[in-house]
Amino acid sequence: MTTKAPTLRFERSFVEAGHKLVAGADEVGRGALAGPVSVGMVAIDATSAKQIRGVRDSKLLTPADRVALVPKIQKWALAYGVGHASAAEIDALGLMAAMRLAGARAWGQVVATARPDIVILDGNHDWLSAGEPSLFDDAAQPGCDAPVLTRIKADLQCLSVAAASVLAKVERDAMMTGYATDYPEYAWEINKGYATAAHRAALLGVGPSDLHRRSWRLTPEQPLMPAVDIAN
């Protein structure tokens, strides 16, 4: 797919209002049947950051291209982080709260180096802003307390958000590939936990593992989700 490269135009639009340190955030794994939901966050100095070549929304890149971009993004960013919430945490908290927990973990990694003035979040719903700490297992980890601005298709338009999606995708994919060694029947090294036809067939054959989201519809009694494109 050919698309225009994301730029820093939107990030730089906040400088005049005094927001020098701008972060982009995106999630991956939201629609998977197994494994964590993961949130990437990349902070930049919007007054001095340069364009970084090759970065796109992670869904538009090959696995090899994503992996090759990780050290470039890490060198380019002022600060970065990837946080995860496990399948068990998704079951216990619900998906939105688990995404916020993963975001809080990413935020904690970022602010250890630099505190963003504002965060651009892909989508139209702010699930990132700090909620009640009691929702989280690690209540001592505060959530994102910077202003959060949602933007539809920010992962296609904003370079910091696209970079965040790449970091999150690569780290989550590596986790699922590692899990695949102990759970070969699900072929997670290929589908990364998404509801492909092969993954659904394995669930019907052997049932869910302890890394599946058991609150989701996984069994014949709870019809499986439709097969999905695993690129995301």
Q: In what order do the strands lie in the sheet with 21-28?
A: 79-85, 37-45, 21-28, 118-122, 148-151
**Residue 16: exposure state from Cβ atoms within 10 A (0-12, 13-18, ≥19):** exposed
Is 27 known to sit in a ligand binding site? Answer: yes
Is 45 known to sit in a ligand binding site? Answer: no
Task: Give the C-alpha separation, 205 to 152, whole Å.
Answer: 39
Residues 6+ away with beta carbon under 8 Å from 97: 131, 135
E-strand spans in 33-78? 37-45
Name the residue type at position 224.
L
Residues 6+ away with beta carbon under 8 Å from 160: 8, 11, 22, 23, 24, 42, 43, 44, 77, 120
Structure tokens at 17: 């209002």
CB distance 41 to 29 below 8 Å: no
CB distance 79 to 110 below 8 Å: yes
Structure tokens at 55: 């970065």
- Residues annotated in a binding site for a divalent metal cation: 26-27, 122
- Residues annotated in a binding site: 26-27, 122
